[in-house]
Chains A and B, each alone.
Chain A
Amino acid sequence: MAFITPSSATARYDVIVVGSGAAGGQAAYTLTMEGARVLMLEAGRNYDPSSETPMFQTNDAAPLRGMGTPDKPFGFYDATVDGGWAVPGEPYTNASTEEGRQFKWWRARMLGGRTNHWGRISLRNGPYDFKPRSRDGLGFDWPIAYGDVAPYYDKVEMLIGVFGSNSGLENTPDSPEGCLLPPPRARIGELLARQRGRKLGIPVIPIRRAVLTRPLDHRSIPARFHPGNEKAQRILAEDMQNRAACFWATECGRGCSIRANYQATTVHLPPALATGNLDILANAMAREVTLDPAGRAAGVVYVDKKTGLEHHASARAVVLAAGACETVRLLLNSKSSRFPDGLANSSGLVGRYIMDTVGADWGGQVPLLESLPPHNEDGAGGGHVYVPWWLYGEQKAGKLGFARGYHVEFGTGKGMPGGDPPYLPDPGGRTSYGARLKEDARRYYGSFVSFTGRGEMIPNADSFCEIDPGVVDRWGIPVLRFHWKWSEHEIRQAAHMQRTFADWIEAMGGKSSGAPDADGRKAIAPGGSIIHEVGGTIMGGSPSGSVTNPWSQAWDVGNLVIADGGVFASNADKNPTLTIMALAWRAADRLLEEMRKGNI
């Protein structure tokens, strides 16, 4: 068992997992390590990080110095394969032409999906985040609480490796002893922001990212995860020893050939494959989930992209982990006499309540950071510190004009040069050139600081996706049409972000170009552009008000599990990936239990 073709697939599997990213990877890991035989369908090609990752390549070895293009929007060395805001031959549409009502959809067509290039920021939702409606009357409460998910956060942190620290701050959960790896030291610009932020009441603490700052504890973790399962323990212990700690170089977004950061292809799939229980079928575009006469999921029809031919794979259970919107598309395209409006859609809510993250940023040039002696600031890639949402009191007192919070990420330091030169501020509107240019570059390089806000969007009835009746992709599969609208909460939050950051730049003695606009519509990033889309198959306490039950099973079809971000009933400011993995592990545990009991 390993990488297979349609003709070498087994007649029937225990579970089919559609998708190989954070959700699919975690589900496949949990299921195969406990003995279930799994077929994983991936719409993109196979991908091998050990041989395909550009680890030390400099931008002068890349076309166009590594700049982004429509083929590689995040730059040449970004790990994304066959993906981006547009995937050739696989369109999607927007219903509105109005500004601010567009949704952009980032996809990757490769084994491991978007986990290969993601930012690795791994924040836990807090207790408030599962019960937001109870706090402010908006959106939905989840049918589960922080305590239900906490043990899975613990396990995911220990499995993938997350650095960070415990701060004890409000709604920013600490992790039990043994979960976290030590955080890297802050960079100089981060220390300055921290010092000046304190005067503004802004708490700066180490961020949590899925990067190994030291090797994982292969001696004790495997036994905790897989009690009584010697084979799984041995496989995991071996695999953990094959992951190196970070050597503090090369951006995480390129992927990591030494497996120091988390991507499904370097963390979840190798041990799952080692069990012998996992078959992976790449270039398999899932088209429809089929039903047996009793109305249970029977399998998946997929298109083999190599031949264009359709095949059917059968299993006792189906786990959808295609990404929130792709999962919606698959369900809505799975129509039957039993489910004429799409599979598991008796509530009519499949595709409803799509959420992204509120994004806005602001930056400036800080004279204190000019002409600093050269020192290595690569670190673990990305920021080493962040600010969890800190204005709970002000918000509760009604002082902010919007509900829900945001966290702040940092951009500081002397990163590897590439793209447009941010080290030439051209003071006085004079385009620096000649001998002066070289002096300016030495002086200003590393003196720019940017703050990035990442905030919670409240689900609303105007943000959803459905099947576009008039457009199909190159395989003839109907595509998604998006509807999008921010509420005033998100728009005001975005304006608050920029105002706060501009004040902060000033507190650092820095200069921004211009002043932030009071109108958050000008600050907020377009829907989908933060690539945190969740919802569409939200979980809840009743079949009429939600698509999945508290265990991520479709209310309508018990052996159909939704493991991706589709089940999110709210989208806290915390980046969703860690929670996706925790919920996927929890759902897979439940599925195993139900299969053992014979219920599935």
Chain B
Amino acid sequence: MDRRAAIKWMLAATAGAMLAKAPSFAAGAPGTSAGAAGGPAAGYGTDPDLVKGYKPGDLWPLTFTGAQRREVAALCDVVIPADGHSPSASALGVTDFIDEFVSAPYPDNVRDGRMILDGLAWLDGESARRFGAVFAEASDAQRNALCEDISREAPSNPDLKPAADFFRRFRNLAATGFYTTPAGMKDIGYVGNVPLARFDGPPADLVEKLGLTDEVKW
């Protein structure tokens, strides 16, 4: 991406950030509430089956190109790599989730999806400019260097602010996708969602260790 395109994207991303502060839907304005317009056209509707399982692509078509998929998978694995506790994000289907997210018909998804796609385009352009290879084909060290530059919320180079916002948004999505899987929940230490005969509260030694007392009697 050349400088002119980068500025154009920056402006678009800034506009997106401003939109993000406005309510996505509200009964606020005079006239009718959002529902009067008939609501979103092609989501899952207001009465979906809650019991069956869904996977990305079941409800609306996924839209990543092959190149975007490869780039997202590569970025997923820089953001959440495999370690001794759990696999990488792409290995747990997070690429599909991000595709589902940017392809969804809801206004927030359309807005954030544009930001993600623009950010991915910037990242590939930046990678090509610096390393002569798109992000998916760059080396691990090169990928990490690119991410490091946009990992400050307020980058020293203000031109990088939209890219930093994109990175934060992408990282949050990747974490959501990762930590909602069984392996992700196990890694983070979520041990609920199982039926118990009784609820015992926190372990007694932990209560003691923190200098607390559990006086609430049954």
A476 within 8 A of B: no
Please tell me if the beta carbons of B202 and A445 are within 8 angstroms of each other in the complex.
no
> Which of B50, B78, B188 gathers the greatest number of chain A CB atoms within 10 Å?
B50
A8 within 8 A of B: no
| Chain A residues, CB < 8 A from B43 | 69-71
Please tell me if the beta carbons of A104 and B26 are within 8 angstroms of each other in the complex.
yes
B158 within 8 A of A: no
| Chain A residues, CB < 8 A from B168 | 426, 431
Q: How many A-B residue pairs have CB under 8 A?
A: 300
Tell me the A428-464 residues at the B interface (CB within 8 Å): 429-435, 437-438, 441-442, 445-446
**CB-CB contacts of B30-74 with A at 8 A, as 1s and 0s?**
111111101110011111101101100011000000000000000
Interface-lining segment among B2-10, B114-122, B125-133, B175-183: B175-183
Q: How large is the interface on B (under 10, 10 to 19, 20 to 34, 35 or more residues)?
A: 35 or more
**CB-CB contacts of A70-108 with B at 8 A, as 1s and 0s?**
111000110001111111111111111100001111000
| Chain A residues, CB < 8 A from B213 | 191, 195
Task: Tell me how far the C-beta of B56 lies from the nearest C-beta in chain A, rounded to whole angstroms.
Answer: 8
| Chain B residues, CB < 8 A from A482 | 27
Please tell me if the beta carbons of B151 and A433 are within 8 angstroms of each other in the complex.
yes
Q: Which of A94, A188, A374 is B212 in contact with, Cβ under 8 Å?
A: A188
Interface-lining segment among A20-28, A33-41, A45-53, A353-361: A45-53
Q: Which of B27, B109, B144, B164 is A102 in contact with, Cβ under 8 Å?
A: B27
Interface-lining segment among A220-228, A416-424, A572-580: A416-424
B135 within 8 A of A: no
Please tell me if the beta carbons of B34 and A70 are within 8 angstroms of each other in the complex.
yes
Q: Which of A65, A192, A194 is B177 in contact with, Cβ under 8 Å?
A: A65
A379 within 8 A of B: yes
**CB-CB contacts of A404-426 with B at 8 A, as 1s and 0s?**
00000000001111111101101
B134 within 8 A of A: no
Please tell me if the beta carbons of A86 and B210 are within 8 angstroms of each other in the complex.
no
Given contacts A94-B28, A423-B188, contact A191 B207 (CB under 8 A): yes
Interface-lining segment among A54-62, A149-157, A297-305, A493-501: A54-62
**For the complex, what is the distance from the CA of A304 to the CA of B176, rounded to whole Å?**
42
**For the complex, what is the distance from the CA of A62 to the CA of B197, rounded to whole Å?**
27
Please tell me if the beta carbons of B44 and A88 are within 8 angstroms of each other in the complex.
no
A274 within 8 A of B: no
**For the complex, what is the distance from the CA of A82 to the CA of B199, rounded to whole Å?**
34
| Chain A residues, CB < 8 A from B83 | 435, 438
Tell me the A221-249 residues at the B interface (CB within 8 Å): 246-249
**CB-CB contacts of A231-270 with B at 8 A, as 1s and 0s?**
0000000000000001111100010000000000000000
| Chain A residues, CB < 8 A from B33 | 85-86, 91-93, 105
| Chain A residues, CB < 8 A from B197 | 247
Q: B27: nearest residue on chain A (CB-CB)?
A: A104
Q: Which of B106, B175, B203 is A375 in contact with, Cβ under 8 Å?
A: B203
Please tell me if the beta carbons of B216 and A70 are within 8 angstroms of each other in the complex.
no
Task: Tell me how far the C-beta of B115 lies from the nearest C-beta in chain A, rounded to whole angstroms.
Answer: 15
Please tell me if the beta carbons of A435 and B50 are within 8 angstroms of each other in the complex.
no
Please tell me if the beta carbons of A424 and B152 are within 8 angstroms of each other in the complex.
no
Task: Tell me how far the C-beta of A75 lies from the nearest C-beta in chain B, rounded to whole angstroms.
Answer: 10
| Chain A residues, CB < 8 A from B31 | 93
Size of interface on A: residues with Cβ below 8 Å to B:
104
Task: Tell me how far the C-beta of A342 lies from the nearest C-beta in chain B, rounded to whole angstroms.
Answer: 22
| Chain B residues, CB < 8 A from A182 | 218
B185 within 8 A of A: yes
Q: B31: nearest residue on chain A (CB-CB)?
A: A93
Task: Tell me how far the C-beta of B28 lies from the nearest C-beta in chain A, rounded to whole angstroms.
Answer: 4
Please tell me if the beta carbons of B180 and A66 are within 8 angstroms of each other in the complex.
yes
| Chain A residues, CB < 8 A from B201 | 184-188, 379
**For the complex, what is the distance from the CA of A393 to the CA of B32, rounded to whole Å?**
45
Please tell me if the beta carbons of A419 and B50 are within 8 angstroms of each other in the complex.
no
Q: Which of A58, A96, A376 is B196 in contact with, Cβ under 8 Å?
A: A376
**For the complex, what is the distance from the CA of A521 to the CA of B205, rounded to whole Å?**
44
Q: Which of B81, B179, B180, B203 is A435 in contact with, Cβ under 8 Å?
A: B81
Please tell me if the beta carbons of A438 and B171 are within 8 angstroms of each other in the complex.
no
Given contacts A94-B28, A426-B153, A433-B171, contact A414 B190 (CB under 8 A): yes
Task: Tell me how far the C-beta of A388 lies from the nearest C-beta in chain B, rounded to whole angstroms.
Answer: 15
Please tell me if the beta carbons of B196 and A445 are within 8 angstroms of each other in the complex.
no
Please tell me if the beta carbons of A45 and B193 are within 8 angstroms of each other in the complex.
no
A145 within 8 A of B: no
Task: Tell me how far the C-beta of B4 lies from the nearest C-beta in chain A, rounded to whole angstroms.
Answer: 27
**CB-CB contacts of B149-161 with A at 8 A, as 1s and 0s?**
0111110000000
Task: Tell me how far the C-beta of A532 lies from the nearest C-beta in chain B, rounded to whole angstroms.
Answer: 16
A206 within 8 A of B: yes
Q: A205: nearest residue on chain B (CB-CB)?
A: B216
Q: Which of B34, B109, B179, B216 is A385 in contact with, Cβ under 8 Å?
A: B216
Q: Which of A52, A192, A247, A430 is B50 in contact with, Cβ under 8 Å?
A: A52
**CB-CB contacts of A180-219 with B at 8 A, as 1s and 0s?**
0011111110011011000000000010000000000000
B191 within 8 A of A: yes
**For the complex, what is the distance from the CA of A421 to the CA of B169, rounded to whole Å?**
11
| Chain A residues, CB < 8 A from B189 | 374, 414, 442, 445-446
| Chain A residues, CB < 8 A from B195 | 247-249
Please tell me if the beta carbons of A433 and B199 are within 8 angstroms of each other in the complex.
no
Task: Tell me how far the C-beta of A590 lies from the nearest C-beta in chain B, rounded to whole angstroms.
Answer: 36
| Chain B residues, CB < 8 A from A247 | 195-197
Please tell me if the beta carbons of B51 and A54 are within 8 angstroms of each other in the complex.
yes
A63 within 8 A of B: yes
Please tell me if the beta carbons of B46 and A88 are within 8 angstroms of each other in the complex.
yes
Please tell me if the beta carbons of B180 and A70 are within 8 angstroms of each other in the complex.
no
Please tell me if the beta carbons of B175 and A70 are within 8 angstroms of each other in the complex.
no
**CB-CB contacts of A460-480 with B at 8 A, as 1s and 0s?**
000000000001000000010
B162 within 8 A of A: no
A503 within 8 A of B: no
| Chain B residues, CB < 8 A from A174 | none
Given contacts A376-B191, A433-B171, contact A421 B179 (CB under 8 A): yes
Task: Tell me how far the C-beta of B22 lies from the nearest C-beta in chain A, rounded to whole angstroms.
Answer: 12
Q: A92: nearest residue on chain B (CB-CB)?
A: B33
| Chain B residues, CB < 8 A from A105 | 27, 33
Q: A73: nearest residue on chain B (CB-CB)?
A: B25
Task: Tell me how far the C-beta of B144 lies from the nearest C-beta in chain A, rounded to whole angstroms.
Answer: 7
Please tell me if the beta carbons of A86 and B51 are within 8 angstroms of each other in the complex.
no
> What would 6 A/B residue contacts be, using CB atoms closer than 8 Å?
A69-B40, A92-B27, A104-B26, A186-B214, A375-B191, A435-B81
